[in-house]
Structure 1
Amino acid sequence: MTYFGHFGGIDHTCALGELEARIAMLVEQLGTLGCGGKTLETPREEAELQRKEEENQHLRLELQMVETERVRLSLLEEKLVDVLQLLQRLRDLKISKRALGKLLLNTLDACRDPAHAGRPGPSAILDALHQALAGCELLRRQPSDPATAAPALPNPLLISC
């Protein structure tokens, strides 16, 4: 702190010395009191603090698990929406119910196959169905004549005359 002593006279040097002494005393007090500045007076308070810390840690872990599950469900929802849109596009192309059923059954059979035992469950079936639908030849080719395609009605229950 003597670095600042050249700015003024003796008064500044004395003030800096007092300031250094005061800072040293405060640092010592902080060291004895701990970083929190509060000492625990009873073992009961210490046990309560420990319990609250454990509860806080438990809640953090639970929040992390909920967030992970939310992300997983969000991804699953996106995949499901994609599959439903692909199915709707196939239906709009007037693919027969028999062909759609065959595509679905082939996907289910492929997922049941022991060679495909990577990830069992609905998520794996949805992934396989998405791949099968995305790879469908009918979706890749565009209708050759737009006039032959039936016009899309805003409400499928309405019949135009």
Structure 2
Amino acid sequence: MENVVLIGDFIAITSEFVRMFLLDNLKTRKEIENSTTIEEKAKEIMLKGMETLVEEKAKLCVMELLQNGTIHVDDIPKIEEYKSGLQVQIIKTANYLIDGAEYRPALNAPKEIVEQFPSVEEFKKIQSEAPSIFIEHFENEEDHIEDNEQED
């Protein structure tokens, strides 16, 4: 049971990471990528900075998980490697959540486990916010293509 609670903690932290940071970050990245007023070198620097920011926010989520979650840090011999692995997994799982993945406990799971996982409403909120980012990106691409065609 402890392992499933641990997964619930991980998913809850990752969902929070998506809602509080990653969705806005993706939207800003798309705006930078589609901008016609920013020079390419500046775009490159800005996007690299945004990537670093994602990694730093993921590190903060790992610290939150290790300090306030159910993972027993004393049981982990190579803690720095473990932290790095968790950071990568938070970012990967966050992207899955944005793409529509949902993580739920078994239907017959005890109440303690069910409470650790985010609610269905949390996943629905992420899924409802995520498409607007990609729709805006698609619309910006169409505008950019039309502008280029008019210039030719």
TM-score grouping bracket, smaller chain normalisation? under 0.3
RCO higher in 1 or 2 (8 Å CA, sep ≥ 6)? 2
TM-score, length basis structure 2 = 0.28
TM-score, length basis structure 1 = 0.27
Which structure dedicates a bigger proportion of its chain to helix?
2
The structure with the largest alpha-carbon Rg is 1
